[in-house]
Amino acid sequence: MKELPDILWLEEIRKEDIAAVGGKGASLGEMAVIGLPVPRAFVVTSHAFRRFLIETGLEDSIFENFENLNVEDNHALEQAAEKAKEAVLRVSMPSSLQENIRLAYQRMDEGGLIVAVRSSATAEDLPDASFAGQQETYLNIKGTDNLLKAIQMCWASLYGARAIYYRAKQGFDDRGVNIAVVVQQLVNSEKAGVMFTTHPVTGEPLTIIEGSWGLGESVVSGSVSPDKYVFDQRTGKVVDRLIANKKIEIIAEGTHGTKLVPVPSDRQDLQVLSDEEVAKLAMFGKIAENHYGIPQDVEWSIVGSSFFILQSRPITTIKSKGTETAAKAGSAGVILVQGQGASPGIATGAVVIVRDAKDTSEVKEGDIMVTKMTNPDMVPAMRKVAAIVTDEGGMTCHAAIVSRELGTPAVVGTKKATAVLKPGQLVTVDGEKGFVYEGALQTARPAEKSQAAVVASPIITATSVKVNVSIPEAAARAAATGADGVGLLRIEHLILGLSKTPGWFITNHKEEDFVQELYDGIKVVLDAFYGKTVWVRTLDAPTDEFRNMAGGENEPIEHNPMLGWRGIRRDLQSPDQFRLQVEAFKRLWEQGYDNLGVMFPMVSHPDQFVAAKKMMQGWGVDVDHATLGVMVEIPSSAILIEDFIKAGIRFASFGTNDLIQYTLAIDRNNENVADMYQPKHPAVLRLIHDTIQVCRKHGVECSICGQAGSEPAMVEWLVEHGITSVSANIDAIAKIRETVARTEQRIILDSARARNA
Ligand code: PEP
Ligand code: MG
């Protein structure tokens, strides 16, 4: 029988070697074979690991730990895991194995090369058993001793508590689970990032590339706002670019680990990639996509003129028939909890329960975040997770809004996810249907997925189709939809992300920081929508959302913050807070951003609009030429719309999230009454219809930016009733544009038929 090798080089690896090299190793091997510039690497095979267990005698002793182990008993589980890990780390590796690794390392570059050491676990009947990154990765390792130690640490991570728990739940026998370790040249990237080889939401042939300085970790983890480039594969041109202010980078530290450092000010605003580099990366992306037959999510890096592709895996957010869950197809999908599907997409991972922002340090890339309700201070962790599940909330809650913009599947309002789901439990979240299933469910058949991703050429509609944006990092994705502008930019998310209330900035004399933060965030969106209108809404955070932040202790405690001190009411009574926002708008107007319009939330009487306008005028705004409008989200503003028009509004936009709750007395975030929250309630429709007619009579733009504007049936009704524009969520733009076009064509056809009848 052929002896199984301890070491396999990437070039030697074929797909079939998955049992020897794990999912990660096999995928790198395959990438190298199709000609992608993968950094040099060898794999310490699962055979080497077995040999280690056998020759050190661990194979017998280690698994005794797990016999009769009740994995639900946390204490026992932790103890068994600790003992097993210690045992793996304590023994020394067989010397012939050490020698094989040393020789391979030396062959890479005389043994002085800095490498990344990554676990690649395998189970007999599952190609990649490294669910949601349970096994470790060690970056920036140099020297044979450090390398051997890192490999042994990877092996030990196979017996982490979470890993044992998963395997027990998934019915894997610990004895049958193996681990391979990839030892790969660590590319000390000058610039790095990620790429989608096809537009992740619309499926258009656009390559979306994000990049920043240093190691790609800063982009992947979301700790920096990267540059964004959109490359149109049809024309071979960069059609959109967004150059961000890149404040930090992650670089290698010494011979171990990485560190986060500030980017020198002269590099912060520099463009990371030239058009030629974007085109070359897009080409590599296409090679990967063509090979796998499905759009890819690729990690890349560049050093000097050398390009590297570090990872390529299927994009999971493109919606299609192919991404239906297996459960629907009749497989054994046990539904653990159910709520509202708030952000489409399907993801599998380990549950991490987040009770408050402190717990977010536990959150790892690819986890499923389960929480009562997300808070703005959880946004950095929300960027990392594969899906979000909440107990509370509805389609318009914080978790729903932010998840949609991040493109992360989310199920909200399950009532009991934090009680039912267990830390470490493997689950599959279907953000469209609102189900959370037990275990990893089969998702898509690749061929169907890529077919369904194809979108027809852009559709022109008479009714403008705009997009909602809440976080500037979503601006490029939003712009890539081809939307006709931004119908709602919620700026409170810019402030909430700073973890300090506006009052804190004022009390601590940091007004300039506040203005700058707003200015920078809004500018990102204005740049992404150059030449298209962007309606920026003034602050509208309820007091309870400010409570956890610095300065939050001064927020009034309100019984019902939804009906409380928010929106224009608060700004009119807090001139300092209002003035700082206006200062940011003024600076942008002075910079020539004529596409900026300002929208006031929660207005109930035209006097409030007049008062706001007067204050702005007092601060030097040319209010007669500025585009100022209001949200219609309180029934009184719908009833008084003609008076608002007389007071000089240039546009009105339905905030149906609030308009529905205030018309029907249904708390929009209360899952107990969620089924009574009816966008098409006749009273709501009457208010909307009447408002549209008055706006039309006066030639004032009438729009919608509430969640109902992302629902095709409602949009059909709105177009029939004469709305001027609709503003939808990023993920809904394609279907809303199609709905608008179809409705408009039907109206024309009906009227032509009526004429000919
Ligand atoms: C609305 O009320 O419909 C709206 C868009 O505003 P928000 O969801 O931020 O209250
Ligand atoms: Mg509102």
Mean pLDDT, contiguous 10-residue spans, the chain (757 residues)? 80 83 85 90 94 91 84 82 93 96 89 83 50 64 92 90 74 81 90 86 81 85 75 91 83 74 91 95 93 85 93 60 32 74 88 87 89 84 92 84 88 92 92 86 36 42 94 86 94 81 93 93 91 95 86 91 95 96 96 94 98 97 96 98 98 98 92 87 97 97 97 95 96 91 90 81
Query: Mutation test of ligand 1: which of 412, 469, 539, 658 has the most ligand atoms closer than 8 Å to its C-beta?
Result: 658
Ligand 1 closest atom vs CA 633? 2
| Strands 258-262 vs 7-9: parallel, antiparallel or unpaired | unpaired
Return the structure tokens found at 79: 């103890």
Which ligand has its closest atom nearest to the C-alpha of 660?
Answer: 1
pLDDT at 333: 62
In whole angstroms, what is the distance from residue 546 CA to residue 554 CA? 9
Q: Is 695 a catalytic residue?
A: no
Q: Name the residue with the closest Cα to ligand 1, atom 4.
A: 655
Which ligand has its closest atom nearest to the C-alpha of 677? Answer: 1
**Cα-to-centroid distance, 322 and ligand 1 (Å):** 33
Residue 418 Cα to ligand 1 midpoint, Å, equals: 27
Residue 183 is encoded by which pair of tokens? 């030892």
pLDDT at 132: 36
708 CA closest ligand 1 atom index: 3
705 catalytic per annotation: yes
Identify the pLDDT of residue 317: 46
Q: Whose CA is nearest to atom 1 of ligand 1?
A: 655
Residue 255 pLDDT: 61
Distance 658 CA to ligand 1 centre (A): 6
Distance CA 643, CA 700 (A): 13
Q: Which ligand is nearest to the CA of 704?
A: 1
Using CA atoms, how far apart are residues 597 and 593, in angstroms rounded to an integer? 10
CA dihedral angle for residue 401, residue 404, residue 409, residue 413, rounded to 10 degrees: 20
Q: Tell me how far apart the alpha carbons of residues 284 and 272 are, in angstroms, rounded to a whole number.
A: 18
Ligand 2 mean position, distance from CA 355 (Å): 26
Residues near ion ligand 2 (CB < 5 Å) are: 633, 655, 658
User: What contacts 35, CB < 8 A, 6 or more positions away?
Assistant: 287
Provide the H-helix boundaries in 627-731. 635-639, 641-646, 656-664, 682-698, 712-720
Q: What is the distance between the alpha carbons of residues 269 and 476, in angstroms, rounded to a whole number?
A: 17
Nearest residue to 454 via CA among 347, 294, 283: 294
- What is the model's pLDDT at position 380? 80
Residue 308: what pLDDT? 95
Per the CB < 8 A criterion, the answer to whether 525 and 475 are in contact is yes
171 C-alpha to ligand 1 centroid (Å): 46
Ligand 1 — pocket residues by CB below 6 A? 396, 488, 490, 540, 633, 655-658, 705-706
Q: How many angstroms separate the CA atoms of 69 and 173, rounded? A: 12
